[in-house]
Amino acid sequence: MSLPRPRNDRAAGSGSGIDLVQAERWGAFLAGGSLTLFGLTRRSLPGLGLAAAGGGLIARALLRTSGTAPASGTGVAVARSVTVNRPIAELYAYWRDLRNLPRIMDHLESVTLDDDRRSHWVAKAPLGTKVEWDAEIAEDRTNELISWRSIAGAEIPNRGSVRFDAAPVGRGSEVTVTLAYDPPAGAVGTAVAKLLGEEPDQQVREDLRRFKAVMEAGEAPTVDGQPSGRED
Amino acid sequence: MKAVCWRGPNNVQVETVPDPQILNPRDAVVKITSTAICGSDLHLYDGYIPALRGGDILGHEFMGEIVETGAEVKNLAVGDRVVVPFTIACGRCFFCERQLWSLCDNSNPHAAAAEKLYGFSGSGLFGYSQIYGGYAGGQAEYARVPFADVGPTKVPHGLTDEQVLFLTDVFPTGYMAVESAGIQPGDTVAVWGCGAVGLFAIVSAYLLGAERVIAIDRVPERLAMARDRAKAETIDYEETDDVVEALKQMTGGRGPDVCVDAVGLEAHGTSFTAKLDRVKHAARLTTDRPYALREAIQACRKGGVVSIPGVYGGFLDKIPFGAAFAKGLTFKMGQTHVHRYIGPLMERVQAAEVDPSFVITHSVPLDKAPEMYRTFREKEDGCIKVVLKP
């Protein structure tokens, strides 16, 4: 799973020659991988222990959610918070209209509503392909929480939630997003991994950063399309 | 259009690049009439700020005429003459609302990269590396200005470019250095570095009621300008055994009330630690040479304020933190909250309390930028401040 994000210039560091970003996580990931392989090739109890330790490192490299446990055993789960300098009601209303999500979630192409609870999601995948699924609102508590999940039969079962909490006085609202995917084995699983990028955690962070900028400043900052002395 | 592009350490070129476009509703495009080379551009030129890309357009001190506005920019019209803060700020986040504009949450599209380096990201800056957003700079014929509804400030009739250009950075930067230190009547202020920021710190200290200002440098033309134009007493540190002791004796044994490091990460010095810094710096073993900062800490009176408008980028060696603690010092630092000062300082210029154009030593066409970067870096030809005319 080593793949470029779909739109480079928005991603931190990518395409800009500054990879301050990924070395540490990759270090843990690679170390975890080699431990796991080494452990599995030993075919012994200590070997299994090594494999487990390696798996743990991989999980930490993937998840690194500040202590937040993944929602289930096998998939990828991330949770991230951001403070937004706007009232909760405004943030809740924006998010409750799921059609707004592609504006802040880079990997989404569109979300269309079937009715008040059901929606159809289209996500960008590598090489110009797409992944689509139907989802439903699982829980909706006005100004508190929205959660959604894919409907049975989706290629890639996934679910997510957003929670809104008041920050201390004068500091706006705290928004916490969780996303979880259960990628199946095989080609589709690989596609999901690509979809999520190398760092699902970083992707959610960027999504939240964009959400905050759109809510506070009315637009997300960009340098895509500005002049330079480069041919790009 | 023509623009000054960074091509690598010690290499800038004037190149033909595409004209800028409106990319967001709060953008404007400015046709640049005057732009300057900043001392902090020399850190880029020398290769000490990480994460520039070949072809990046430099420059963060610029002014000109609005030629296009985005749909959300209601307060500016085509033809307005404006000065543009070098810090890019949204005006609506927690930090902007508290006048901490250079800490804006929403203006750096590469915030994640800055977070990896510093834990958090400050605002975007024009022409100051990918870490600060990768925004195209203003040493060019045109520039796109994001959040133009809160940044660019209209220039009143009757003021020349030369009088108001430095409101974009160096005048507010020198001003904030002493204003944030809480200057009291009777204070003595010591200023390390008599480049443009140091000179404006001197001028601003007097505007705010300081009794005496003592300036420290080694370049004769800069010491002369500090003395003759900014009315500071001066110390040539190459002619002085011990600057800290000299300052102590000049202040009746107390030490200056406020010490300003207007030098930053590429300081020169004559002591052993200064030479060690230069060797390590040359070998890229350390990122910053904090010689002026060390002296400022050692010289400052008990309970005084050390204020740091000079730019630092990484890790500092051998900072006398024990002395700072023992003396109960206060530190003030950071990128300038230009938006906070640009209006009030414009009024002072209009009221003829100060004419910032005194720092200009060179005014040349934009095409001359490559040779002026060299001249400025080598401090040749009395060079203190270069204005480029696109």
Query: Average pLDDT of chain B?
Result: 94
Q: Are residues B254 and B371 in the same domain?
A: no
Is B146 in Cβ contact with A16 (below 8 Å)? no
Confidence of residue B313 (pLDDT cuts 50, 70, 90): confident
Is B147 in Cβ contact with A217 (below 8 Å)? yes
In angstroms, the CA B152 to CA B168 distance is 9
Residue B187: domain span: 173-333
Is A227 in Cβ contact with B24 (below 8 Å)? no
Strand partners, B83: B63, B153
Range B194-199 average pLDDT: 97
Q: Are residues B144 and B289 in the same domain?
A: no
Is B133 in Cβ contact with A223 (below 8 Å)? yes
In angstroms, the CA A52 to CA A72 distance is 17
CB proximity list for A165: less than 8 A, separation 6 or greater: A88, A173, A174, A176
Q: Are residues B150 and B14 in the same domain?
A: yes
The residue of chain A with its CA nearest to that of B19 is: A227
8 Å CB contact between B298 and B251: no
Bridging pattern class, strands B81-84 and A173-181: unpaired
In angstroms, the CA B269 to CA B264 distance is 12
Confidence (pLDDT) at B307: 98
CATH number at residue B43: 3.90.180.10
Q: Are residues B223 and B327 in the same domain?
A: yes
Confidence (pLDDT) at A41: 38
8 Å CB contact between B275 and B312: no
Confidence (pLDDT) at B376: 96
Q: Are residues B375 and B288 in the same domain?
A: no
Residue of A9, A22, A216, A230 to mutate, interface with B, max B Cβ within 10 Å:
A216
Confidence (pLDDT) at A157: 87
Radius of gyration of chain B (CA): 20
Q: Are residues B204 and B269 in the same domain?
A: yes
Confidence (pLDDT) at A52: 39
Q: Which residues of chain A have pLDDT under 50?
A: 1-73
In angstroms, the CA B345 to CA B333 distance is 20
Q: Looking at B333, B351, B366, which one is the last position of a domain?
A: B333
Smallest CA–CA distance, residue A93 to chain B, in Å, is 19
Interface residues of chain A, partner chain B, Cβ below 8 Å = 9-13, 16-18, 20-21, 83, 85, 171-172, 202, 205-206, 209, 212-213, 216-230
Smallest CA–CA distance, residue B17 to chain A, in Å, is 6
Q: Which of A217-221, A225-229, B207-211, B278-282 has the lowest mean pLDDT?
A: B278-282
Q: Where in chain A is the domain with CATH 3.30.530.20?
A: 67-217
In angstroms, the CA B337 to CA B73 distance is 21
Q: Are residues B141 and B251 in the same domain?
A: no
Q: Are residues B15 and B162 in the same domain?
A: yes
Smallest CA–CA distance, residue B96 to chain A, in Å, is 11
Confidence of residue B284 (pLDDT cuts 50, 70, 90): low
Confidence (pLDDT) at A106: 85
Give the pair of three-digit tokens for residue B315: 């890790």
Contacts of B144 in chain A (CB under 8 A): 226
Q: Are residues B157 and B79 in the same domain?
A: yes
Confidence (pLDDT) at B280: 66
Nearest-by-Cβ selection for A228 from B56, B88, B106: B56
CA nearest A79: which of A200, A210, A173? A200
- Amino acid A24 reads E
Strand partners, B191: B215, B260
Give the pair of three-digit tokens for residue B133: 């957003």
> What is the DSSP secondary structure assignment for residue A184, as one 8-state letter?
P
Is B144 in Cβ contact with A228 (below 8 Å)? no
Range B205-215 average pLDDT: 98
Is B111 in Cβ contact with A218 (below 8 Å)? no
**Cβ neighbours around B206 below 10 Å, total:** 18
Q: Are residues B310 and B192 in the same domain?
A: yes
In angstroms, the CA A114 to CA A135 distance is 10
Smallest CA–CA distance, residue A64 to chain B, in Å, is 15
Range B79-104 average pLDDT: 98
Residue of A5, A18, A204 to mutate, interface with B, max B Cβ within 10 Å:
A18
CATH topology of domain A67-217: Alpha-D-Glucose-1,6-Bisphosphate; Chain A, domain 4 (3.30.530)
**Crossing angle of the two packed helices B170-179 and B196-207, in degrees rounded to 10:** 50
Residue of A10, A204, A226 to mutate, interface with B, max B Cβ within 10 Å:
A226
8 Å CB contact between B98 and B89: no
Give the pair of three-digit tokens for residue B317: 């060696």
Give the pair of three-digit tokens for residue B370: 């490559």
In angstroms, the CA B197 to CA A56 distance is 52
Q: Which of A64-68, B4-8, B209-213 has the lowest mean pLDDT?
A: A64-68
Q: Which residue has the tokens 């929606």?
A: A119
* CA angle in degrees (0–180, nearest 5) for A6-A11-A13: 125
Q: Are residues B269 and B299 in the same domain?
A: yes
Q: What pLDDT digit, counting tens, does each position of B259-268 carry? A: 999 998 876 7
Q: Are residues B226 and B267 in the same domain?
A: yes
Confidence of residue B48 (pLDDT cuts 50, 70, 90): confident
Confidence (pLDDT) at A203: 85
**Crossing angle of the two packed helices B338-350 and B170-179, in degrees rounded to 10:** 100
What's the 3-state SS for chain B?
CEEEEEEECCEEEEEECCCCCCCCCCCEEEEEEEEEECHHHHHHHCCCCCCCCCCCECCCEEEEEEEEECCCCCCCCCCCEEEECCEECCCCCHHHHCCCHHHCCCCCCCHHHHHHHHCCCCCEEECCCHHHCCECCCCECEEEECCCCCCCEECCCCCCHHHHHHHHCHHHHHHHHHHCCCCCCCCEEEEECCCHHHHHHHHHHHHCCCCEEEEEECCHHHHHHHHHCCCCEEEEHHHCCCHHHHHHHHCCCCCCCEEEECCCCECCCCCHHHHHHHHHHHCCCCCCECHHHHHHHHHCCCCCEEEECCCCCCCCCCCCHHHHHHCCCEEEECCCCHHHHHHHHHHHHHCCCCCHHHHCCEEEEHHHHHHHHHHHHCCHHHCCCEEEEC
Nearest-by-Cβ selection for A228 from B94, B115, B136: B136
The answer to whether residue B7 scores a pLDDT higher than 70 is yes
Contacts of B113 in chain A (CB under 8 A): 12-13, 16, 18, 20-21
What number of C-beta contacts closer than 8 Å exist between A and B? 134
Confidence (pLDDT) at A156: 81
The answer to whether residue B12 scores a pLDDT higher than 50 is yes
Element (H, E) at A51: helix A45-63
Smallest CA–CA distance, residue B18 to chain A, in Å, is 5
Total domain count for chain B? 2
Confidence of residue B285 (pLDDT cuts 50, 70, 90): low
Confidence (pLDDT) at B266: 74
The answer to whether residue B333 scores a pLDDT higher than 90 is yes
CATH number at residue B273: 3.40.50.720
